[in-house]
Amino acid sequence: MYFATIKKSTFSLYSAVNFFFAVLLPGYSLLIGDSTIFYLIYLYWWQELLASAIEGIYYAKNREAYPEISTNPFWARLFLLFVYFVFIIIFFGLVSDWGNDQRIKKNLEIFFFRDIFFMINLVGLVLNDWLHKKTAAQKLIISNDPFKGRMMVMHISIILGGSTLFIGNTAWAGFPFLLIKAYLDYKQNKMNIQEGSN
């Protein structure tokens, strides 16, 4: 589910704030050694889940605002998120750090929302997304297609992000992942702006 027709000035502010909380702040956390690959992917998973929930609430309250809706059921999107959740916890949270008690402990703190940087990141991303939807100036287009919009960004991010582990599951392995995420978000935001201007 994604919102396509948002005025460009609002989208620019949204993109800037999203870049800060999705790339710059996690990047700083990596630099000081307070982050892991699991931190990044788990953060983006929660961002997608909560953004979908926010959009679902807006749709339920104002169905007439949506002139077009995908035939794909919403549960298909949630099912994919559930599959990714299991994969992220097992592979990125446990298997990739197996034998490193310090990293496993860190991942558990992140999982149970006991990591300060993670919570600041997550709250910032969700508030930015909520305000972005609330200030939408035009009618919105919703799509439940699990292979469009930000879900596609997540598919590619997880696949390419996982490949960064081949250079070693260190803090530095997170930086290529951050660059991938930033580029994919930029491309998706640019596409949404173009769709909204049509």
Instruction: Write the pLDDT tens digit of every residue in 20-79.
Output: 998 899 888 888 877 788 888 899 899 888 887 877 777 677 666 554 455 555 677 788
Tokens (6 digits) for 124: 């910032």
pLDDT beyond 90 at 119: yes
Calculate the average pLDDT of the chain.
Answer: 75
| Residue 136, pLDDT score | 61
Average pLDDT over residues 159-171: 64
The mean per-residue pLDDT over the stretch 86-105 comes to 86
- Please tell me the pTM assigned to this model: 0.79
- 3-state SS assignment for residue 123: helix
Quickly state the pLDDT bin for 114 (edges 50, 70, 90).
very high
